[in-house]
Amino acid sequence: MLKMFFSFYKPYKGLFLLDMFCTVLVAAVELAFPVATRYALNDLIGVGAFPAFFWVMAALFVGYLVRAALQYVVSYWGHTMGVFMECDIKRTLFAHMQKLPCRFYDQNRTGQLMSRVTSDLFEIVELAHHGPEDVLLSAVELVGAIVIMWTLQWQMALLLLIMAPIMFAFTLWRRKKMAKSAHEVKDKIGVINSDIESSISGARVAKAFANEAHEMKKFEGGNEKYRAARRTFYREMALFHSGMEFFSSIFQVAVIAMGGWLILCDGMQPEDLLTFSLYVGTFVAPIRRLANFAEQYSVGMAGFKRFYELMNTAPEIADKDDALVLSDVKGDVEYKGVTFSYNDGDAVLSDLSMTVQAGKTVALVGPSGGGKTTLCHLLTRFYEAEEGTITVDGIDIRDVTMESLRKTVGIVQQEVMLFADTIRENIRYGRLDATDEEVEEAARLAEIHDDILQMPDGYDTFVGERGLRLSGGQKQRVSIARIFLKNPSILILDEATSALDTITEAKIQKSFERLSENRTTLVIAHRLSTIRHADRIVYIDGDGIREQGSHEELLEQNGLYAALYNAIRE
């Protein structure tokens, strides 16, 4: 895990070394100030060497100008390096997630995955940028301060070394408490945001049932928990900061008390006490910084551990090394002894065999849960068959690249997914290099062109999140236009007209008939009127394929399909 973590530094080792070099120089300037002050007071003021004294002050002024420039480099280029690393980590994670199968997304909540891509990565990059910088700066300042103070007065340096672990332990203890409270606040914010989102999304339902007061009560409950958590956090924060101020002050008191006693005993010069007092601040700051780093490390590495686990989630479905590119597809599809189950449960499909001849339309009907959609998902390798094979033109789909396979198959699904973009770009998603004229022709074929022209911005109309600004029928027709533009060899229509009214459905049906000409088509439909002219109808339920034949043949059999057809007619 650490090897992977440090690998993200490799492309930016130049920036990293620059950051570390400047950090060391910043610490050196910080350590030089008390020494220069002591020299100016002891060796220059005491003998009246005022010109030299002011030269030393000028040197300190220049030193702090240089320090400011170095601090700019550390702050700007250090954070820039962090942003570069964040983008690299996000790119690596996103590319990996693109390879993960549908089963992975079935088992993981979208919110959790979003958290890994956003907040977790932010914590990781904060550690990557500030971690080495804080450790190096603290180490140089601590070691430098201890060495210099030891040379000035070892007894007082020893006193600070004895007190330092107590302060460090207190800092760690209180930071952990404060971090725990901060996490509780985040959790409560998450709950409130979830409740608000749910209430806004379900506003119509709440009004329909006159439950506005209930929604308000739910919100008040979450709000009260958030207020309590926030108060706890502020109490922990107050204890931490007040404790740190106490230790910072008590260090100064201890130094002055012991220094005063040593001066009275002629064991120390007053100028050395002033220098020592200046080094107390230099000594305390690294301890506080190291305590912050300890918390930052635990939070950042916890986030990186989740990132590492996700990166080590191997794609269940991947191309073979010698995978072929599927081309010049005729469209012969065959399922041979296919068995499949979701999440190691009961088999949805068991030893199922079926053929679809090129250019033919096969309709799949039957009760929900019978495996109709699963059959189509297996053809596109959204899921992998556990047993058996699926072939296209006699070639096992596991022997071809998934990209070429999925370019060959076009799917219009019941649940339409539109991106938060314009209508034009949502249609163009079917073929990214399509011209505007081709996009508009696809819209005409999908019977959505006239609707688009009546919209305020025409094809440049923004559809909103998941297409919320469009009606159900309009969303469905935009998704159908995408398939017209894609022009695949094999077409899957999964309840493609379910959201359309009867008149629009009739228009779309004519378009589908044109699109299905000389094209292998699998149709899943509960509206049996849309599949009467299919070349073959296959009735599937939990026991597999029960009946198949033309519409007229199945009615003559007077079996399951006939019963379903007559029930719908009634």
Report domain extents, the chain.
1-146+296-316, 333-569
d(CA 179, CA 177) in angstroms, rounded, equals 5
What average pLDDT score do residues 499-512 get?
Answer: 69
The pLDDT, as a whole number, for residue 564 is: 82
Q: pLDDT exceeding 70 applies to what percent of the chain?
A: 88
162 or 508, which is more confident? 162
Side-chain-facing half-sphere of 84: CA atoms under 13 Å: 16
- In this predicted structure, the answer to whether residue 427 has a pLDDT above a threshold of 80 is yes
271: helix, strand or coil? helix
- Grade residue 498 by pLDDT with cuts at 50, 70 and 90: low
Percent of the chain surpassing pLDDT 90: 3
Going by C-alpha positions, the residue among 407, 431, 410, 432 that lies closest to residue 326 is: 407
How many residues appear in the chain? 570
For 120-140, the DSSP string reads HHHHHHHHHHHHHHHHHHHHH
412 φ/ψ angles, rounded to the nearest 5 degrees: -115, 115
Q: What is the mean pLDDT of residues 513-520?
A: 79
Instruction: Give the pair of three-digit tokens for residue 357.
Output: 């001849």
Helix runs in 342-462, H state only: 372-379, 402-408, 423-428, 436-445, 449-453
Q: CA-CA distance, 202 to 207, in Å (whole number)? A: 9
Give the whole-angstrom CA distance, residue 320 versus residue 121: 31
**pLDDT beyond 60 at 85:** yes
Whole-angstrom Cα distance, residue 526 to residue 372?
11
Q: Which has the closest alpha carbon to 63: 75, 55, 51?
A: 55
The answer to whether the CB of 275 falls within 8 A of the CB of 152 is: yes
Distance between CA atoms of residues 355 and 333, nearest Å: 6
Return the amino acid letter for 78.
G
Whole-number Å distance between alpha carbons of 385 and 382: 10
Question: Which residues, other chains included, contact 423 with Cβ-Cβ below 8 Å and sequence gap of 6+?
Answer: 452, 455, 458, 459, 460, 461, 463, 478
Q: Are 452 and 446 in contact (CB under 8 A)?
A: no
Q: Report in angstroms the alpha-carbon separations of 388 from 172, 353, 373, 436, 539.
A: 59, 9, 18, 43, 20
Decide if 484 contacts 495 (C-beta within 8 A): no
Average pLDDT over residues 501-524: 76
* Model pTM score: 0.63
Whether pLDDT at 448 is above 70: yes
Amino acid at 527: R
H or E stretch at 349: strand 347-356
Could you say which of 3.40.50.720, 3.40.50.10380, 3.90.1150.10, 1.20.1560.10 is the CATH number of the domain covering 1-146+296-316? 1.20.1560.10
With cut-offs at 50, 70 and 90, classify the pLDDT of residue 197. low
Contact predicate 101/384, CB 8 Å: yes
Dist. CA 296–CA 347, nearest whole Å: 47
- Structure-block tokens of residue 82: 């962090």
Q: What is the torsion angle, in degrees rounded to the nearest 10, for the CA atoms of residue 157, residue 164, residue 31 and residue 137?
A: 150
Q: Which of 156-165, 213-222, 415-424, 494-503 has the lowest mean pLDDT?
A: 494-503
The predicted pLDDT at position 117 comes to 67
Average pLDDT, the chain: 80
Do the strands 409-412 and 490-494 form a parallel or antiparallel pair, or are they unpaired? parallel
CATH topology of domain 333-569: Rossmann fold (3.40.50)
Average pLDDT over residues 176-184: 74
pLDDT the model gives residue 568:
67
More confident residue, 294 or 160: 160
Which of residues 351 and 466 earns the better pLDDT score? 351
Highest mean pLDDT among 28-37, 71-80, 126-135, 328-337: 328-337
**Cα 206 to chain centroid, rounded:** 32
- Is the Cα dihedral 368, 370, 372, 375 positive or negative? positive
pLDDT at 111 exceeding the cut of 60: no
* pLDDT attached to residue 336: 92
| 364-418 pLDDT per residue, tens | 988 877 788 888 888 888 888 888 999 999 899 999 988 888 888 888 877 777 8
| Contact (Cβ atoms closer than 8 angstroms) between residue 88 and residue 80 | no
Could you give the CA distance from residue 392 to residue 333 in angstroms, rounded to a whole number? 5
Query: How large is the average pLDDT for residues 246-255?
Result: 79
Residue 169 has pLDDT above 80, yes or no: yes
- Short-list 21, 11, 8, 30, CA closest to 133: 21
404 contacts 327 by C-beta, under 8 angstroms: yes
**Parallel/antiparallel/unpaired status of strands 333-341 and 347-356:** antiparallel
pLDDT(205) > 80: no
How far is residue 485's CA from residue 448's CA, in Å, rounded to a whole number?
13
Q: Work out the average pLDDT over 58-67.
A: 85
What mean pLDDT is predicted for residues 200-229?
A: 79
The Cα 520–Cα 493 span in angstroms is 11
Tell me the CA distances in angstroms from 225 to 190, 205, 490, one per residue in order. Answer: 12, 26, 54
